[in-house]
Amino acid sequence: MPESHALLGASNSKQWINCPPSARLQQQFPNESSVYAEEGTFAHSVCEYKVRKYLHERVKRPQSEAYDSEEIEQITDVYAEFVIETIERMKRNGCEPLTLVEERVDYSHLVPSGFGTADMIVIGQDENGKGILHIADFKTGKGVFVDAAYNSQLMLYALGALHAYGYIYPIDTVWMTIVQPRLDNISTYVCTREELEEWGESIRPIAQLAYEGKGEQKCGDWCRFCRAKPVCRACAEEALALAKEEFLDLDDGVLAPIRASPEKQHTQEEGTAPTELAEPTFKQPGLVPFHELEEILPTLNRISAWIESVFAYVSGEAINNGVPVKGYKVVEGRSKRVFTDLKAVVDTAMQNGYTDLYKKELISLTEFEKLMGKKRFAELLGPYVQKPPGKLTLVPDSDPRPPVERTDSPEQEFTALTAQEEE
Ligand code: SF4
């Protein structure tokens, strides 16, 4: 969950650790809450409710007309079950663990004014009686797989918890888990207390740079949520450098567009803006080999996100603030017809003899599970439940999901195609 108040928050730590000046640069832009962020906030409150209920605290279930759904119920169940199992396991190891839910942690001994809110902190012991600090963070996103290994957000929470409780409780190892149910991801990273503390010391000077708005501006996958992205010069330069190097013969110093052909330059009236972009001049005509595309793929991913953010920013300025954009105008998009008064629609249709107005639908799998209870559902309907394989997606090697074993080799595909063609 994003911490809206800390300049050097844990949730955006990957960003400021890799690009220290970004923390101050993005302060110039409003931190607008997205629908996803609001849904995430609600889901977190449901997680909190479920864990506190298990801990026998008096709590009221949060409500939301917009976001309360079966899916939220499912994903928060996954998180709550993980937390409960963690606590129960420690109890089986012979201790009564300390459990803290939605706990504010302070790591300002390493990062200026640094604090955050940890979803779960459990302090107890393993089966050998060694002290464990376990931190868990719930993620609702499904766009990017979040790995627990060397996850700076978790490590900062852990450092904060260690700072607050490490002198009371004997802690030998630190467990850090990401629970990201929408991607079937529960990933845990374990390190020793010393390793964690060493990492904390290593980021101390970087945090100081970030706090002062200094350091090198550097693009990477951490740019994803940076609010300065649409106007970030490092991103613009990276995109144009790649285009220039790989594909196009661009003018130097261009943010200027693709050069106009001599013919078009000649016919263009002086002092008027070009009405259309000229044809690009390709460095090497022909086709780009696959291996070259492979090499630039990670950068292209990032550039495409940057381009989207530029369009969103410029469009927002034009649409919301009336800022004129040269060569563009604001128009109304297409819209669909809607009924203004549903009751009147039904009454009028009925009065005129149209009665078949409603559809009936079978309740969903989760609703069946709620109706019958998990055990009865498994007994009665379990045999009819199947989890089909997910849609194939190309992801970077860093994604911890195992690769799909393909049975069709290119040769086989070729054979199949050839056979088909010959039929
Ligand atoms: S968008 Fe720019 S300022 Fe923000 S993290 Fe990336 S490189 Fe740094």
For 185-204, the pLDDT digits (tens) are 999 999 999 999 999 999 99
Q: What is the mean pLDDT of residues 109-115?
A: 95
Residues 54, 104 within the same domain: yes
Tell me: pLDDT of 3 over 70: no
Residues 183, 258 within the same domain: no
Report whether 381 contacts 362 (CB < 8 A): no
Total of domains in the chain = 2
Q: The tokens 């300049």 sit on which residue?
A: 7
Residues 155, 70 within the same domain: yes
Return the ligand 1 atom nearest residue 232 CA: 2
Nearest to 117, CA basis, from 47, 24, 54? 47
- Mutate which of 12, 16, 214, 232 for ligand 1? The one with the most ligand atoms within 8 Å of its CB, which is 232
- Say which range, 47-56, 114-123, 326-335, has the weakest mean pLDDT: 326-335
- Mutate which of 222, 225, 313 for ligand 1? The one with the most ligand atoms within 8 Å of its CB, which is 222
Q: What confidence tier does 151 reach under pLDDT thresholds 50, 70, 90? A: very high
Q: Is the CB of 226 under 6 A from ligand 1?
A: yes
CA–centroid distance, residue 23 to ligand 1 (Å)? 9
Report whether 122 contacts 139 (CB < 8 A): no
CA–centroid distance, residue 308 to ligand 1 (Å)? 15
One-letter amino acid at 264 equals K
State the residue range of the domain holding 251: 229-265+277-321
Residues 102, 165 within the same domain: yes
Return the ligand 1 atom nearest residue 19 CA: 8
What pLDDT, on the 0 to 100 scale, is given for residue 383? 94
Residues 188, 255 within the same domain: no
For 26-84, the pLDDT digits (tens) are 998 887 766 678 888 999 999 999 999 999 999 999 988 877 788 899 999 999 999 99
Nearest to 219, CA basis, from 14, 18, 26? 18
Q: Is the CB of 224 under 6 A from ligand 1?
A: no
Residues 40, 173 within the same domain: yes
What pLDDT, on the 0 to 100 scale, is given for residue 270? 42
Q: Is the CB of 223 under 6 A from ligand 1?
A: yes
CB contact set of 288 (below 8 Å; sequence gap of 6+): 246, 247
Supply the angle between the helices 365-372 and 374-381 in degrees, to the nearest 10: 120
Residues 310, 167 within the same domain: no
Does residue 281 lie in a domain region? yes
Does residue 341 lie in a domain region? no
Name the residue with the closest Cα to ligand 1, atom 5.
223
Q: Which of 357 and 265 is assigned the larger pLDDT?
A: 357
Q: Is the CB of 218 under 6 A from ligand 1?
A: yes
Does residue 30 lie in a domain region? yes
Give me the percent of the chain exceeding a pLDDT of 70: 84
List Cα–Cα distances, 220 to 16, 97, 240, in angstroms: 11, 39, 15
Residues 191, 236 within the same domain: no
The CATH code of the domain that includes 94 is: 3.90.320
Q: What is the mean pLDDT of residues 91-106?
A: 93
Instruction: Identify the three-state secondary structure at position 355.
Output: coil
Residues 150, 234 within the same domain: no
Residues 142, 243 within the same domain: no
Does residue 187 lie in a domain region? yes
Return the ligand 1 atom nearest residue 220 CA: 6
Does residue 93 lie in a domain region? yes
Strand boundaries in 52-162, DSSP class E = 98-106, 115-125, 131-138
Half-sphere exposure of 265 (CA within 13 A, CB side): 6
Residues 50, 87 within the same domain: yes
Does residue 25 lie in a domain region? yes
What pLDDT, on the 0 to 100 scale, is given for residue 110? 97
Residues 238, 196 within the same domain: no
Does residue 392 lie in a domain region? no
Q: How many residues does the chain have?
A: 423
Does residue 364 lie in a domain region? no
